[in-house]
Amino acid sequence: MLAEIRVEDAVHELRPDFAVLAVTAEGLRNGPSDDLSRGWLEKAGGNAVAADDPHVLAWREAYRAFGAKPQRTRPSVDALLRRADRLPAINRVVDAYNAVSVEYVLPIGGEDLAAYRGTARLVRARGDEPFDTVAGGEQVTEHPDAGEVVWRDDAGVTCRRWNWRQCVRTRITESTGDALFLLERLEPYPLERLQEAADALAGLLREISPQVRIRTRLIGPARS
C-alpha cells in the first residue's frame, strides 16, 4: 500500500508545494479514549496557536483554488484549532493523531487499512464518485464537486475537499488494527517539521501499542 500511494499531476499543478508524509501503523491495539489520550488532547489544546497561523492560511488558499469556501468547509486543522479548548475524545488512536495535528498545526487524516479497496490516491474528482457519510443521523451517499481535490480508493472517495471530511467506511474505530495516516503540508511549512510530527505521532502510537510496526513515505513536493 505505502509504495503505491500517489498524488495526481492535476493536484500538483494546483499546488506544486504540496507534500504528504504517509505513515502506516500495523499491529495497533486501539480502544476507547482514556486518561492518557485525553491528556494528549488537553495538552495540545492548551498550547494551540491561533487559527490564522501561516500554514492554516495556506490551506484556506488551497481550498479556494479548487472552488471550496474555507469558511463553510474548513481544512481539518483549521476546524480543530477552533475547538482547541474542547477537543473531542473519540478513541485512543484518533485522539493521538488529533493531538499531533493541533500541536504541529498540520492536517492529519487517519484511515483503517482493512477497509481500503486498492491504494490511496489524491485526485481532482470527476464528480460522480461515491462518498458515504452521515446526514441527519442517517448514512447516505453523496458525491464530490467536479474538480474537487479528494482522497479516494477503488471503491470511492475516502476524504472530501482534501482533508475536510472523512467517509464512514474507512474511519478508525476501536477495532482498527492497521492504519494509514496522511500528514499534509503546504509552504511555508518546513519538511523537517513534517517529519517531526510523524515522529511525535509514532511515539504516541507506541505508547498505545508498544509492538506497533511503523513505516513512512514522503510524496512530493512536485519540484523536489
Please name each of the domains of the chain with its CATH number: 2-118+176-219 (3.50.40)
State pTM to two decimals: 0.96
Evaluate whether 62 touches 15 at the Cβ level (below 8 Å): yes
User: How far is the C-alpha of 79 from the C-alpha of 58, rounded, in Å?
Assistant: 14
Which pLDDT value is given to residue 138? Answer: 87
Instruction: Determine the average pLDDT of the residues in 48-69.
Output: 96
The pLDDT value given to residue 223: 55
Grid cell at residue 133:
457519510
pLDDT at 187 over 60: yes
Cross-strand pairs, 178 = 26
Contact (Cβ atoms closer than 8 angstroms) between residue 213 and residue 27 = yes
Residue 217: name the closest of 202, 192, 198 by CA. 198
The answer to whether 75 and 163 are in contact (CB under 8 A) is: yes
Give the pLDDT score at 130.
98
Supply the DSSP string of 162-214, one letter for each residue.
Answer: TTTEE-STT---TT--EEEEEEEE-TTS-HHHHHHHHHHHHHHHHHH-TT-EE
The answer to whether the peptide bond before residue 190 is cis (omega within 30 degrees of 0) is no
> Average pLDDT of the chain?
96
**Where do the H-state alpha helices sit in the chain?**
9-14, 35-46, 54-65, 76-81, 92-104, 191-208
| Residue-wise pLDDT tens digits, 110-138 | 999 999 999 999 999 999 999 999 988 88
Q: Would you say residue 224 has pLDDT above 80?
A: no
Give the residue-averaged pLDDT of 153-181: 98
Q: Are 202 and 119 in contact (CB under 8 A)?
A: no
Q: Cα(16)–Cα(58) distance, rounded to whole angstroms?
A: 13
